[in-house]
Structure 1
Amino acid sequence: MSVSNIKHDGDIVWEYKPRFRLYKDGSYERNDFPDVPPSLDDPITGVSSKDITISKEISARLYLPKLNSPNQKLPILVYIHGGAFCFETAFEAYYHDYMNALVKEANVVVVSVEYRLAPEHPLPAAYEDSWNALQWVASHSDNEAKIEKEPWLINHGDFDKFFINGDSAGANIVNNMVMRAGTEKLHGDVIIAGAILAFPYFWGSKPIGSMSSESNMQSLSYKIWEFVYPLAPGGIDCALINPIADGAPSLAQIRCSKMLVVTGELDEVRERGIQYVEAVKKSEWKGEIELVDVEGEDHCFQMEHLQSEKARDLIKRLAYFINK
């Protein structure tokens, strides 16, 4: 466990059990789950993985399924992990096991991005790191790019099938990446074929559904945003967290041809995810968007209960989206 200041006053402002706790004096506790090593041949899935460094700030874990031929080309999936922008890593078992299962089912090359976390690196650091990682992957399609190219991407990546996926805060990042791609080109003129937003972390000052104004402001989602991006322009109605806020850029700017948004019936951010889907449909965006609302499940259940029938069904649905 890493602690910024062990002399805290004991008053808790908010906590996300068992991962993170913020105290009134500004100190915090982050419960870091142990990292697990990559494997060249996972005994359950047959998926290979390895760790790489993209830049001084960014690293990643790459995944490659069993190949049918030495020159087989596969879709590329850039994955952005969740964790409220302030905990979780691409290297812990929670994500490693999920990536192995997804890679096996979808038959894709995955780059699972490790970005800098708040509060040591407040937002927009995670957005910038994710964009730079996306650009690094895309640069492998450019023969003139002056980078040390990763063989798994060069030999097996199909840049005409370039996808981005994230959960929770990672899904929030995914929205902002496809929005940014609408105004900035990716290296090699790579186009994002599709985006998956699983249980996206969106919020705003206006309550929706049955939530009152007071409960909206006292929600964990509200408090987390204030912590991870204290200088956010517009506060909780910054377009980064509230993409349908007054004055936010039009969602017609999204640069990909199809999107899949996943929500859970019991999830606090469910209504925001559904509202986002409706807003995208009402914009002038020309792509296709689909909502999968999982009955009886909470936030990111598919990783908490990876072996459950509903988790397996959801992974199959994501694989179908990528390969259809």
Structure 2
Amino acid sequence: MASSSSDNIIAEIPSYITVYKDGRIDRPRQTPFVAASVEDPLNKQVSSKDIIISQNPLISARIYLPTFNNHNHLLPILVYFHGGGFFFESAFSQLYHNYFNSFVSQIHAIVVSVEYRLAPEHPLPVAYDDCWDALQWVASHSTNNIINSEPWLNNHADFNRIFIGGDSAGGNIVHNIAIRGGFEPLHGGVKILGAIYAQPYFCSSKPIGSEPVIGYEESLLYVVWDFVYPSAPGGIDNPLINPLAPEAPTLSGLGCSKILVCVASNDALRDRGVWYHEAVKESGWKGELELFEQQDEDHVYHIFHPESEHAKKLTKLMASFILE
């Protein structure tokens, strides 16, 4: 008797990802990959290209440069970590490529969108290390002591204005990179000036706000963490996902000078973003802290619809955060 397709499945988050016994992995929500373009015929204000940060492990990125730049004027750098629950999406996907073409055309900044390794092929904490290594690679350009240097960074980047940012799982990565930056130096003594958290993914064993009490452990936020980091010490209360866990480092040590937390009123992660903002405010952290909430929008609305009125509003806010 032939086995059913369900018998061949070893792990699954329905409609998001299916892992089969033969090693195949389906990611039905993954958007198509698209090529970078040094001279984009549809967007002449932005150039992009793909770069290798490290061969072992393999870490890459897509870098964006505004072509309307006055070449005598150095630009701030945004090192960005994409969303997708740590298990899908890409710096090379159509979704993020379209977003950053729009973003960079409105913001006078260089973006380095990091292609970190994904679960389940590479369970956490691999992604955090990849993103830290990518940030260190960017910072190392400040010393002119780098083998695989990137001319766009050498020629146009202002290393006194390095920012980190990310949405959803990428927002979680932002937190953990900022924490690491508080106790581990970057090359050349570079500092993280600011951090942007767009609808960041956090969780804990105790629901908060509008999160369901009944069935909470079956909620998507809970299930995703178990899938991407099945061996996490402390499970859902691991400090990487629960920044208020007993073993978590103090938020007062966040290694940046200013923070922007962005939430959306219809997003299931809305309360977690506010929770995080309040915790940072109460921690004694000494930087500038801002919370922005967009009404009548859902999770990562600005990524899905970068040309919408609300997305452009958020981009203007990010521009003020980065450029002022």
TM-score range, shorter chain: over 0.9
Residue 50 of structure 2 is matched in structure 1 by: 51
CA distance in structure 2 between the aligned counterparts of 1:149 and 1:290, rounded to whole angstroms: 34
Cα distance, 1:212 vs. partner? 3.7
Cα distance, 1:100 vs. partner? 1.1
Q: Which runs of 5+ in 1 are unaligned?
A: 1-5
CA distance in structure 2 between the aligned counterparts of 1:284 and 1:29, rounded to whole angstroms: 44
Counterpart amino acid of residue 29 in structure 1: D
Deviation by residue 1:135-194 (Cα, 9 ceiling, x = unmatched) = 000000013x23221110010000011101101001100000000001100000100010
User: When the two structures are aligned, how many residues end up with a matched partner?
Assistant: 316
CA distance in structure 1 between the aligned counterparts of 2:238 and 2:109, rounded to whole angstroms: 34
Query: Kindly tell me: are residues 58 and 68 of structure 1, through their superposed partners in 2, closer, same or farther at Cα, counting changes over 3 Å?
Result: closer
Alignment of 1:150-229 (within 5 A): 150-229=150-229
Query: Kindly tell me: are residues 148 and 274 of structure 1, through their superposed partners in 2, closer, same or farther at Cα, counting changes over 3 Å?
Result: same
1:141 matched to 2:148: no
Residue 121 of structure 1 is matched in structure 2 by: 122
Deviation by residue 1:240-272 (Cα, 9 ceiling, x = unmatched) = 001012231100110111000111111111111
Deviation by residue 1:37-70 (Cα, 9 ceiling, x = unmatched) = 1112222352000011111220000100024433
Cα distance, 1:301 vs. partner? 0.6
CA distance in structure 2 between the aligned counterparts of 1:124 and 1:250, rounded to whole angstroms: 20
Alignment of 1:6-21 (within 5 A): 7-9=5-7, 14-15=13-14, 17=15, 19-21=16-18
Deviation by residue 1:95-147 (Cα, 9 ceiling, x = unmatched) = 0011111112111011110000000000001000000000000000013x232
Contact 1:40 1:48 survives alignment (8 Å): yes
Which of 16, 25, 29 is the equivalent residue of 2:26? 29
CA distance in structure 2 between the aligned counterparts of 1:95 and 1:146, rounded to whole angstroms: 28
Counterpart amino acid of residue 160 in structure 2: D
CA distance in structure 2 between the aligned counterparts of 1:312 and 1:54, rounded to whole angstroms: 30
CA distance in structure 2 between the aligned counterparts of 1:314 and 1:291, rounded to whole angstroms: 12
Residue 295 of structure 1 is matched in structure 2 by: 295
Cα distance, 1:210 vs. partner? 3.5
CA distance in structure 1 between the aligned counterparts of 2:209 and 2:232, rounded to whole angstroms: 25
Q: Which runs of 5+ in 2 are unaligned?
A: none
Residue 78 of structure 2 is matched in structure 1 by: 77
SS of residue in 2 equivalent to 1:242 = coil
Contact 1:14 1:22 survives alignment (8 Å): no
SS of residue in 2 equivalent to 1:121 = coil
Residue 96 of structure 2 is matched in structure 1 by: 95
Deviation by residue 1:262-308 (Cα, 9 ceiling, x = unmatched) = 11111111111100000000012100111111101111011212221
Cα distance, 1:36 vs. partner? 0.9
Contact 1:8 1:25 survives alignment (8 Å): no
CA distance in structure 2 between the aligned counterparts of 1:295 and 1:316, rounded to whole angstroms: 16
Contact 1:65 1:109 survives alignment (8 Å): yes
Contact 2:302 2:314 survives alignment (8 Å): yes
CA distance in structure 2 between the aligned counterparts of 1:256 and 1:26, rounded to whole angstroms: 41
CA distance in structure 1 between the aligned counterparts of 2:273 and 2:44, rounded to whole angstroms: 31
Counterpart amino acid of residue 119 in structure 2: A
Residue 3 of structure 1 is matched in structure 2 by: none
Deviation by residue 1:2-54 (Cα, 9 ceiling, x = unmatched) = xxxx9433888533x4x434689997521343211111222235200001111
SS of residue in 1 equivalent to 2:6 = coil
With normalisation by structure 1, the TM-score equals: 0.92
Cα distance, 1:318 vs. partner? 0.9
Cα distance, 1:219 vs. partner? 0.7
CA RMSD in angstroms comes to 2.0
SS of residue in 2 equivalent to 1:184 = coil
Query: Kindly tell me: are residues 29 and 96 of structure 1, through their superposed partners in 2, closer, same or farther at Cα, counting changes over 3 Å?
Result: same
Counterpart amino acid of residue 308 in structure 1: S
CA distance in structure 1 between the aligned counterparts of 2:20 and 2:267, rounded to whole angstroms: 25
Contact 1:65 1:107 survives alignment (8 Å): yes
Counterpart amino acid of residue 155 in structure 2: N
Residue 38 of structure 2 is matched in structure 1 by: 40
SS of residue in 1 equivalent to 2:289 = strand
Residue 280 of structure 1 is matched in structure 2 by: 280
Counterpart amino acid of residue 106 in structure 1: I
Contact 2:69 2:108 survives alignment (8 Å): no
SS of residue in 2 equivalent to 1:196 = strand
CA distance in structure 1 between the aligned counterparts of 2:282 and 2:44, rounded to whole angstroms: 41
Counterpart amino acid of residue 249 in structure 1: P
